[in-house]
Amino acid sequence: MPKTRESSSPLAEKSRNIKPQPSQEEIALRAYHIYLERGGVPGDEFNDWIIAERQLIELAGKDGKPRRKPATKSATA
């Protein structure tokens, strides 16, 4: 009986290296939080989106699980 060697598929290997991508809703929510953190000043929506996307990708890549930022406390209590 011929010996078969065990080899992993290149596709299987690649799939392990793919970082999970956050959804548009998650990015939008994080971008909104960034907007609020900088005082709600309009005019920087694109940068807020890019920063939010990078932060969420970085957080998801650390342990493979997407994370949500804890809710911020409202100024009106």
Quick one: which of 29, 13, 32, 36 has its CA closest to 66?
29
Residues 6+ apart with CB under 8 A from 21: 57, 60
Q: What is the mean pLDDT of residues 3-25?
A: 67
- Residue in the block written with tokens 């342990």: 63
Do residues 51 and 34 make contact, with C-beta atoms less than 8 angstroms apart? yes
Do residues 22 and 53 make contact, with C-beta atoms less than 8 angstroms apart? yes
Q: Tens digits of per-residue pLDDT, 38-72?
A: 999 988 999 999 999 999 999 987 765 555 555 55
Tokens representing residue 22 in the block:
């956050």
Question: Amino acid identity of 40?
Answer: G
